[in-house]
Amino acid sequence: MITQQSLSHARPQQRHVVKPKFEGVITDLIYHDDASPLPRPQSFLVEQDPNWVLQTHFHQEHQFQVFVAGSGTIGKNPLSKLAVHYASPHSAYGPLIASNEGISYFTLRAVGDVGAWYIPDSREQLLTRLPKQQEHGAPSTIVSSDELLKLKSVVQEELIALNEQGLGAWMMRLPPRYKAPAPSFAEQGGGRFYVITLGSMISKGEEMDGLATVFATPDEKIEIQAGDKGLEVLVLQYPQAAQHSFIEAMAAGKV
């Protein structure tokens, strides 16, 4: 199964959120209701208001975040453009603090989740007995649209080393109209998000300009194809466990 959506197509449904815990703009790209069969991938863009502090929190499904604009910090760590953060279920992270220019990031899950559980308010709901995992990576260089157009060969960089559970992340840059195989080992993971951050990618016969997200189940054999502008894409692979809903497993007493 392949599911995809571009930010430009999703923009008309963006919503401005003003809540005690968060202020900013959220745009849903890929989403399913809870009654849909698995997988139920989810991707949305968060544009967090300048200087807003999103306090430490956790989620109940496996999650990647990709930081695409602005700047800030997560915990004590500065966030650079195209930084990637992974958190396993019930792994608290933060605070996520936007600078005076704000910060924008994709939130991506192989199985959708709603809301956040904030610390210390929800500390009693945090399953401390679960093993926790967080990973962080970022490309060694940032390129402009002009530099991408002038690229002469395919570039691939590992951002998060592939582990035994199937978790991993890579960055790829392709010259205009080039094709390249996706990173190997897709079958070892629990699905992948392809996040188009610059240029354009041909997927299912559609040329998708960045920013855009494409979700593929582990059985899909993806050939990455750049459009006329070249392509920069992040490949985010979930661990095998992410194929199943942690929330549903917990409700069934399997956790």
What pLDDT is recorded for position 136?
A: 96
Both 51 and 101 in one domain: the answer is yes
Q: Residue 118 — very low, low, confident or very high, per pLDDT cuts 50/70/90? A: very high
Same domain, 50 and 27: yes
Percent of the chain with pLDDT over 70: 96
* Overall average pLDDT of the 139-145 stretch: 97
Kindly state whether residue 223 falls inside one of the protein's structural domains. Answer: yes
- Predicted pLDDT at 124: 83
Domain boundary among 109, 137, 165: 137
- In a shared domain, residues 126 and 150: no
* Ramachandran area for residue 51 (φ above 0: left; ψ -120 to 50: alpha; else beta): left
Using a 10 angstrom Cβ sphere, with 0-12 exposed, 13-18 middle and 19 or more buried, the burial of residue 178 is middle
Contact 231, 195 (CB under 8 A): no
Q: What percent of the chain has pLDDT over 90?
A: 82
200 and 119 share one domain: no
Determine the structural domain holding residue 232 and report its residue range.
Answer: 145-240
pLDDT tens readout for residues 38-71 = 889 999 999 999 999 999 999 999 999 999 999 9
pLDDT beyond 70 at 128: yes
DSSP string, 44-108: EEEEEPTT-EE--EE-SS-EEEEEEEEEEEETTEEE-TT-EEEE-TT--B--EEEEEEEEEEEEE
Task: Give the separation between CA 253 and CA 255, rounded to whole angstroms.
Answer: 6
User: Is the same domain home to 44 and 150?
Assistant: no
CATH number assigned to the domain comprising residue 196: 2.60.120.10
User: Do 212 and 183 have their domain in common?
Assistant: yes
Cβ atoms 237, 168 nearer than 8 A: yes
Could you tell me if 77 and 18 lie in one domain? Answer: yes
What is the average pLDDT score of the chain?
A: 94
**C-alpha 58 chain-centroid distance:** 15
Residue that terminates a domain, selected from 90, 117, 137: 137
Q: Give the residue from 77, 103, 137 where a domain finishes.
A: 137
| Structural domains in the chain (count) | 2
245, part of any domain: no
